[in-house]
Amino acid sequence: MKWNTKSLLFIACVGLAGSALFGFSKGDDRNFRIAKNLDVFNAVFKELDMFYVDTIDPEKVINYSIEAMLAQTDPYTEYYPEEDNTLKEMTSGKFGGIGSVIRYYTPRKRVAIIEPSEGSPAAEAGLQAGDIIMEINGKDMAQGDRTPNELTSYVSDNLRGDPGTTCVLKLERPTADSTYIPMELKITRGTIRTNPVPYYGMVDKNIGYIAISTFAIEGCSKDIKKALIELKQQGATSIVLDLRGNGGGLLSEAVNVVNFFVPKGKEIVVTKGKIKQAGSTYKTSNEPIDMEIPLTVLVDGATASAAEIVSGSLQDLDRAVIVGNRTYGKGLVQVPRELPYNSSMKVTTAKYYIPSGRCIQAIDYAKRNADGSVARIPDSLTTVFHTAAGREVRDGGGIRPDVEVKAERFPNIMFYLLNDDMIFDYATQYCIKHPNIGEVKDFSVTDADYDDFKQMLKKRNFTYDRQSEKSLKNLKEIAEFEGYMEGASEEFAALEKKLTHNLDHELNRFSKQIRKAIAEEIVKRHYFQRGVILERMKDDADLTKAIETLKDKEGYTKILSVPADK
């Protein structure tokens, strides 16, 4: 086998690391064990490379070993090889490309355009959701022996490139009769920046609303500040911050956003790690925009990390009422680290603690079960902390809202409708037949539209697994094995009859949720993410409750105060 320079240098580095560590006293058990195992790893790889019957790919094998090693830590500690720019893009929020969301499309075994980003080169060039990517700059984008994920990554890599370079796409675009016509588009790549504030506006006479999708972009707090100031100029006397679905990002940007509403010099976050350098204290460093304006923050199970710093800090300082559902519970801090040969990694170096002193990390990855799994910290083992006013809050399980709103049930059928691209395909056909849908506020999926959707499902013989049927089958097998079936056969038969698959029944039962998903997909084709948010706001229980809370001044004050019996 021929060794490339990179492989040789990597193994040499491993070997040198082992040799260096052997310099420590053998009495230092930890250093000895590290050196010993690195030396064993080095030897195993050399033996494998020299004697294994087939030629191995050194980068692939070693990358696999690194991933297996990191799997023993937490999901946030990750390795990025030289060719992977993910970490750089995560911390900057910028990359060179055409600006379009893509996904593997099962019916064609190709990658399809899902959504051109608003104002992107893709949108400007006329790329549309539903377009199937056939070639990029003359290279066939067929699946071949790639997995769906591998094909999607391959297409993504070919779409990206330096701003100013061109990208020639050969596409197949769906038509009204469900056939495809070939097309070719030439797109000049640009610098793509994720929009951290996809929408802001007035949701009531004097209530402003700001949707914040991420904190993972340098300077995103400036976008949020701009939205806040404009809403105040439009007459907003109270504000709703929507952090639902916000997976977090940069700690410094989160602190900046909290600073808009609290005084300069206020301690917001303290980080503590194994080494002294991992510990830091983050305080607000600017004069606030408004310390008095009433504030509610919308959160859900996908609100995480930096978004939890914002919501949790505003709760701990009694500065905002938190509305919605309990957040994800990520209280860990990651730091990017450069590695040899332009590779890098993201390492969890510390836990963070918000103003009350609590850490809201929900899972202790250091305590694994025998099978390697981990579990959330039960509420019974969490500790009580107190806000600035003395209200009780808890650690270890995310941010619990001050005003909880019952989450809407996600029906099982919806998963299959989305996963099988049924809603996506219907929206594609709808938009071909309806090139203009008018304003979002006036749009709706009519009864006739929903009947058309039902007919499409029947024509395609749409089926899905029902959990109740699966569970009943398993129960029958257990009953037969344990000898209980003979006396319960009639009951099982009656239950089986009641649980018979009935597509019409399910489509009618969950029509509200399904229509909502269809409407969002259609609106997105015309108005991008801004339109999706406007569509969701038509029937948004969390937002309705936030507005009610802001309008009830006495109730708002009471929520942020310590109960009289305390």
From the candidates 213, 305, 311, 356, give the one annotated as an active-site residue. 305
Q: How far apart are CA 437 and CA 444, in angstroms?
A: 9
Do the Cβ atoms of 166 and 101 come closer than 8 Å? no
Do the Cβ atoms of 112 and 156 come closer than 8 Å? no
From the candidates 100, 300, 313, 330, give the one annotated as an active-site residue. 330
CA 16 to chain centre: 40
Alpha helices of 463-502 — where are they, by DSSP H?
Answer: 467-482, 489-498
Q: Helix, strand, or coil here: 203?
A: strand
From the candidates 131, 316, 402, 421, give the one annotated as an active-site residue. 316
Q: How far apart are CA 487 and CA 219, in angstroms?
A: 69
143 CB neighbour count, 10 Å cutoff: 17
Collect all residues with Cβ–Cβ distance below 8 Å to 139 and sequence separation of at least 6: 158
Q: Which helix (H) or strand (E) holds 412?
A: helix 412-419
Q: How far apart are CA 368 and CA 374, in angstroms?
A: 5
Q: Please, what is the end-to-end C-alpha distance for the chain in angstroms?
A: 75
Is 330 an annotated catalytic residue?
yes
Residue 116 pairs with which residues in a beta bridge? 100
Radius of gyration of the chain (CA): 27
Q: How far apart are CA 141 and CA 171, in angstroms?
A: 10
Count of CA atoms in the C-beta half-sphere (13 A) of 503: 16
Is 305 an annotated catalytic residue?
yes
SS (H, E, C) 156-197: HHHHCCCCCCEEEEEEEEECCCCCEEEEEEEEECEEEECCCC
- List the structure tokens of 349: 């170096």
Q: How far apart are CA 217 and CA 140, in angstroms?
A: 33
Q: Helix, strand, or coil here: 439?
A: coil
Q: Which helix (H) or strand (E) holds 221?
A: helix 220-233
70 CB neighbour count, 10 Å cutoff: 17
Q: How far apart are CA 125 and CA 136, in angstroms?
A: 15
- List the structure tokens of 483: 């000898």
Q: Which helix (H) or strand (E) holds 103?
A: strand 100-105
- List the structure tokens of 375: 């579990």
Q: Phi-psi category of 132—alpha, beta or left, where left has phi over 0 and alpha has psi -120 to 50?
A: beta
Point out the residues that are catalytic: 305, 316, 330
